[in-house]
Amino acid sequence: MSLDTTDYISIASAQTLYGLFRERHRKTPNSTAYSHFCADTQQWQTTTWSEAAQQIAIWQHALKSEGLRSGDRVALNLKNCQEWVFFDQAALSLGLITVPLYPDDRPDSLAFILQDADVRCLFLQNQHQWQRLKPSLSDEHQLKRVIIKTTGQNILDAPAVYMNEWLRTDTTPVLIDWQADPHQLATIIYTSGTTGKPKGVMLSHYNILSVASASLECFQVRSDDLFLSFLPLSHTLERTAGYYLPMMTGARVAFSRGIPQLANDIQELKPSVLIAVPRIFERIYQRIQSSLSSQPWYKRLLLKMTSHIGWTSFLHAQRRHRWSPSFLFMPVLEKIVAKNIQALFGGQLRIAVTGGAAIPHHVAEFFIGMGINLLQGYGLTETSPVISVNRTSENEPFSVGQPIPSVEVRTGDNAELLVKSPGNMLGYWNNHKATANTIDAEGWLHTGDQARIAESGHIFITGRIKDILVLSNGEKVSPVDMEMAITRDELFEQALVVGEGKPFLSALVVLNAEQWLQLAQRLKLDAMNKNSLTDKSLQQHIIQRFRGLLHDFPAYAKIRRVHLTLSPWTIENGMLTPTMKIKRAKLVEANQQLIDGFYQN
């Protein structure tokens, strides 16, 4: 795809992530950079690149006054906002290493990261975060300054200070002119590992810039595009593709008020580009399906017809389906049905990129059938993060796309996907052993994911090596695929399939509370009585339901025992990572006695 170079900033021009901002400010100082919702005025307010530069200069001045030295680590733990950018750019311009943290992460996990990275300065959302974190900090912590964004009523004790007080200056600072080796360490991003302690991934300026630039050759982003930023900026996908990438093209970024207001933000802002995880599309899909139950039969039929014809029309455009006379109905169906679905995304959406997990096939089919340009990609924090992404003209939605330019892929032992990329990390912070286990002597990064690479270059992820279950008869099962199939059903909120070394599979399942009420009524059970969850008729109903959901899996991949609960697995109870991935080992450990009970008879 040809790249619009009018406002584009090349890696050669930028050199560093701070250099990227300086170039953007130089090229388009009066263009809008960011939008945010002001609680005081109840209006969306904009910031130009020139205004952003003034703010970053103030942040540079404040950080310099802390006596921090090049190479020191500074961390930030707050919701997406322009201050996140100001802090990041100011820190980078002083040679500091930024360590992004997840706002929803547990205090003990945050304390571990702060100590492991020897963080000197921390930027927090509010005083409540600081009060939660303090008891988990060791006496040896190196925090010299804690900046609190939201001013509260209480007087803060050192090292904490409110942002507005800390930024106060009698002078008018000017932007620092800083240049550095592009291969210098820029950031340490801690992976929210599903097992063990998080590891700090070291990425250079060049790592991130190379991936952002290569991604722009796969889908065209224009200077008049509007990104809606709602994935946490601590998530590498959002940081690279939703922050640095739009800066390269001069596109505007609007910061969402948060997931609860996301639907309203989309309607008000009408974004043209969305970077999202599959869960967002799944929720919208489930909401559509739930609303259908109260609609007349002909409306349900029209929706189904539009999705089906739209999908086959898409396949025809991709040269994978013959022409059909039914395509003649599409212009009408587009006006009376598809437009309503597109309106849920604001009506101006050109590109929707999804990554971080696999999107269920039926969800991808539905939205693509409705005219949403949905492009699935794949990557790891360790690869800055994008490895591959689908292109609009070569979109194989059930794959994770083709490698982005300059990225090499191949499969190794156990069909493991191996990657050579300019985005490959420098290594893990203070963990040479883990680095050597991940990047081999020839420079191939071992992803831990099993894959199949088609002749077209499209990559199909087939499993996670560590997650594969081997039954006592030697048969191998991918529990993640089964869990995805199970949670397609609205009754099942979360699922964990177990059975390593056992004769059959079992499952732990979290039920959707609303759907459970309806099912209990149908089965004449008391939904308020927790003993109802172990009722024999319910258990049989669930097992039978599983059979329908898992009909495409081999005969040996059948679930014979199930434990039902209404208590969700969350970040707070330690069962999910900050990126919402299930901590399999921890869940199994916490429920070991229960799991053993499945196999006693």
Residue at 173 is within a domain: yes
> What share of the chain in percent tops pLDDT 90?
82
Nearest in space to 131 (alpha carbons), one of 160, 153, 109: 160
Per-residue confidence band for 4, with pLDDT thresholds at 50, 70 and 90: low
Q: What confidence tens digit (pLDDT) does each residue in 268-292 have?
A: 999 999 999 998 998 899 899 888 8
Q: Sign of torsion, CA 203 207 213 219?
A: negative
Q: How many whole angstroms separate alpha carbon 539 and alpha carbon 601?
A: 17
- In 3D, which of 235, 219, 237, 234 has the Cα closest to residue 275? 237
pLDDT for residue 195: 56
CB 33 within 8 A of CB 49: yes
Please report, for the domain that includes residue 519, its CATH number: 3.30.300.30
Last-in-domain residue among 180, 215, 240: 180
3-state secondary structure (DSSP) of residue 208: helix
In a domain, 592, yes or no: yes
Q: What is the per-residue pLDDT for 276?
A: 95
Number of domains in the chain: 2
Residue carrying structure tokens 């916490």: 590
Q: Residue 334 has what DSSP assignment?
A: I
pLDDT band of 556, cuts 50, 70, 90: confident
Q: How confident is the model at residue 224 (pLDDT cuts 50, 70, 90)?
A: very high
pLDDT band per the 50, 70, 90 thresholds, residue 91: very high
Look up the CATH number of the domain holding residue 55.
Answer: 3.40.50.12780
Which tens digit of pLDDT belongs to each residue from 147-206? 999 988 888 888 999 999 999 888 889 999 998 999 999 999 998 665 568 899 999 999
pLDDT tens for each residue of 499-530: 998 999 999 999 999 999 999 999 999 999 98
Confidence of residue 498 (pLDDT cuts 50, 70, 90): very high
C-alpha 166/C-alpha 121 separation (Å) is 12
- Cβ atoms of 378 and 461 within 8 Å: the answer is yes
Q: Which of 452, 397, 451, 401 is nearest to 281 (CA)?
A: 397
Token pair for residue 199? Answer: 């590891």
**Domain with 542 in it:** 468-598
Nearest CA to 282 out of 493, 104, 481 is that of: 493
**CA separation for the pair 413, 418 (Å, rounded):** 10
Q: In the numeric block, which tokens belong to residue 325?
A: 């006379």
What is the distance between the alpha carbons of residues 313 and 319, in angstroms, rounded to a whole number? 10
Residue 494 has pLDDT above 80, yes or no: yes
Name the domain boundary from 136, 164, 180. 180
Inside any domain, residue 40:
yes
Cα separation, 246 vs 125, in Å, equals 24
8 A C-beta contact, residue 57 and residue 173 = yes
Instruction: Calculate what percentage of the chain has a pLDDT beyond 70.
Output: 98
DSSP for residue 502: S
Q: Is the pLDDT of residue 3 over 60?
A: no
Dist. CA 271–CA 228, nearest whole Å: 6
Do strands 32-38 and 43-48 pair parallel, antiparallel, or not at all (unpaired)?
antiparallel
In the predicted model, is pLDDT for residue 2 greater than 60? no
3-state secondary structure 7-60: CCCCHHHHCCHHHHHHHHHHHCCCCEEEEEEECCCCEEEEEEHHHHHHHHHHHH
Residue 576 DSSP class:
B
Evaluate the CA torsion angle 269, 275, 281, 282 in order and state its sign.
negative
pLDDT digits (tens, 9 = 90+) for 465-474: 888 888 888 8
d(CA 483, CA 33): 41
Predicted local confidence at residue 569, as pLDDT: 96
Question: Distance between CA atoms of 131 and 117, rounded to whole angstroms?
Answer: 21
Q: How far apart are CA 328 and CA 167, in angstroms?
A: 62
Q: Is the pLDDT of residue 601 over 80?
A: no
The pTM of this model reads: 0.88
- Rounded to whole angstroms, how far apart are CA atoms 106 and 574? 8
10-62: per-residue pLDDT in tens? 999 999 999 999 999 999 999 999 999 999 999 999 999 999 999 999 999 99
Residue length of the chain: 601
Indicate if the pLDDT at residue 562 is higher than 80.
Answer: yes
Q: Which residues, including other chains, have CB under 8 Å from residue 368's CB and lie 6 or more apart?
A: 310, 311, 314, 374, 395, 397
**And the tokens for 571?**
């970040």
Tokens read off for 107:
């205090």
Instruction: Answer whether residue 5 shows pLDDT above 70.
Output: no
Give a yes or no: residue 233 inside a domain: no
Is 544 part of any domain?
A: yes
Is residue 378, in this structure, part of any structural domain at all? no
* Structural domain ending residue among the three candidates 151, 180, 209: 180
Note whether residue 139 is domain-resident. yes
By C-alpha distance, which of 478, 509, 522 is closest to 591? 509
Domain annotation covers residue 16: yes
Q: In what order do the strands lie in the sheet with 559-565?
A: 492-498, 505-511, 559-565
